[in-house]
Structure 1
Amino acid sequence: MLKLMKYELRKQAFSKLIIIIIAALGEAVFFSGLLLDKHDTMGLAIGLLTIFTMGAMFFIAFESIITYYNDLKQKQSYMLFLTPHTPYTIVGAKVLSSGIQIILSGLVFGLIFAVDGAALLAKYSSINEIKDFLHELLSVQFHIDVDGKLLVLAVLALLISWISTITLAYLSITLSTTFLANKRGKALISFIIFLILEYIFSKISDIVTSMPAIPQGPDFTIIISIVLYTVLTAITYLATAWMLDKKVSV
């Protein structure tokens, strides 16, 4: 599986290099504004980096989905599924490589914003006062104690939910190329199935997290969400590999 994962990572390496270069340029602009005490430059850099982070995370997930789609559509890539490797190994390598890319990207962007925030707090003491005020406001008015643990859990839940979305897309694409292969409008049907499954899962998540037996609180809610997203990822991975095993592998 490690060789397959390396193969998947190499296929998408160039786009990650571009993302790193753009993020580095954004950081250069931010720190130039910080050193020259230009608030507009710093604000612009942070704003653009925030937008770029969201766009980059979306692109990483989208690229993983498109790569999988092309592997099933293009003859040269399709041959990968006719190798001695089982579909469970091949799809597992794709899921793991996608997960690694998303988690590492999330960690890198998180580190970037942490460094930027620390630099701002070190230079401008007034920001520290604003931070303390917001922390107290959230604690008193909304009973939310924002600490490092909660932020880490929230980011982890977001990243795992993104991975589950990718595996759900894998499932929909596989469905359109296997059991729906001879159906008219199979792409549209699989996309509708994807949306329906996303909606159903979001409702299940809401029901589970609001059950009286479940401990209440932001941290418990996030932990339960992480577990649910992990289960969804496992189910969609197994279903995808099973369909490929039945319809594609030899």
Structure 2
Amino acid sequence: MLTLIQYEMKKTAFMKILCFSALLIAQAFVLLGGATDNYVVMGLGAGLLIFFSFLIFFILGLSSMASLSKDLNTTQGYMLFMLPKHSACFLLAKIIESLISTFLAGVVVSLLFSFNIVYFSLDMEFYQDAFEMFWNLVMSGKGFGTLSLYMIRFLATAAAFWIFLSTMAILCVTVQASIFKGKALALVVSIIAFFCLFLYLFSALPELAANISWEYKDPIFYGMIIVLSVGFFALSSYLLEKQRNF
């Protein structure tokens, strides 16, 4: 499994270099504008930094989808799928790689924005007070426990949603490749199907959970997310394994 994850990281390494290079270039414009008091350059850099930050998450989120589409619709994945491993291993490696890459991108973006807030802030007393309040919260035993539980819950929720979206995207690509393998605009069809399914589920699932039980709507909603993720992954693995053995 580790070898497959490393292989997926190598396949998408060039794309990641381009993404982070775009972030660094935008950050360089921000620093250059601040150093020369050129607010036009600084504003342009800030705008590009915000735009690229959102774009990177979008690209990395669809990286597993694009990689699988190439593997199934071109000769790129021919030798890979000749390995004596179940199809679920290949799909799981793509999901894990996408999750790791997105997490690292989130860390980089958070550090850049935190640096800019501190570096260009004029009201340093506000941030100093906020930092002291945060530090006091961390140092108190009860506060540290509460903060830790909040962070764990936030990360777990983000990971659950990311896995749900990844398994949904992989299912769309797998179904498309099974029906329209090698056809033009295959990835575009998969992306359209993914967004349609995404919009439908995220409008229907919360309402369904609330109708079942308003008091426990959140646990029911997250339970649905987990069940659907497992179902999407299992169906994708089955279709891919059937296609390999055909």
TM range (shorter): 0.7 to 0.9
Quote the residue 1:47 is aligned against: 47
Deviation at 1:109, TM superposition (A): 1.0
Contact 1:30 1:41 in 2 (8 A): yes
Per-residue displacement from partner, 1:142-200 (whole Å, max 9, x unpaired)? xxxxx99989977875665354333212101211333x369x99x69866754553234
Count of residues paired in the alignment: 225
Quote the residue 2:60 is aligned against: 60
- Matched AA of 1:69: S
More moved, 94-103 vs 72-81: 72-81
Contact 2:69 2:177 in 1 (8 A): no
Contact 1:87 1:249 in 2 (8 A): no
Structure 2 vs 1, CA of residues 113 and 81 (structure 1 numbering), >3 Å: closer, same or farther? same
Quote the residue 1:235 is aligned against: 231
Identity of aligned residues (%): 24
Quote the residue 1:166 is aligned against: 166
Mark the runs of 5 or more structure 1 residues left unpaired by the alignment. Answer: 133-146, 216-220
Answering whether residue 81 of structure 2 is matched by residue 81 of structure 1, we say yes
Quote the residue 2:101 is aligned against: 101
Quote the residue 2:12 is aligned against: 12
Contact 1:205 1:228 in 2 (8 A): no
Contact 2:174 2:240 in 1 (8 A): yes
Partners of 1:70 and 1:189 lie apart in 2 by 13
Contact 2:70 2:76 in 1 (8 A): no
Structure 2 vs 1, CA of residues 119 and 228 (structure 1 numbering), >3 Å: closer, same or farther? farther
More moved, 194-203 vs 7-16: 194-203
- Matched AA of 2:168: L
RMSD value over aligned CA atoms? 3.8
Contact 1:102 1:159 in 2 (8 A): no
More moved, 168-177 vs 224-233: 224-233
Partners of 1:125 and 1:225 lie apart in 2 by 42
Mark the runs of 5 or more structure 2 residues left unpaired by the alignment. Answer: 131-146
- Matched AA of 2:44: L
Quote the residue 2:139 is aligned against: none
Contact 1:174 1:243 in 2 (8 A): yes
Partners of 2:107 and 2:15 lie apart in 1 by 17
Partners of 2:245 and 2:100 lie apart in 1 by 26
Partners of 2:224 and 2:80 lie apart in 1 by 31
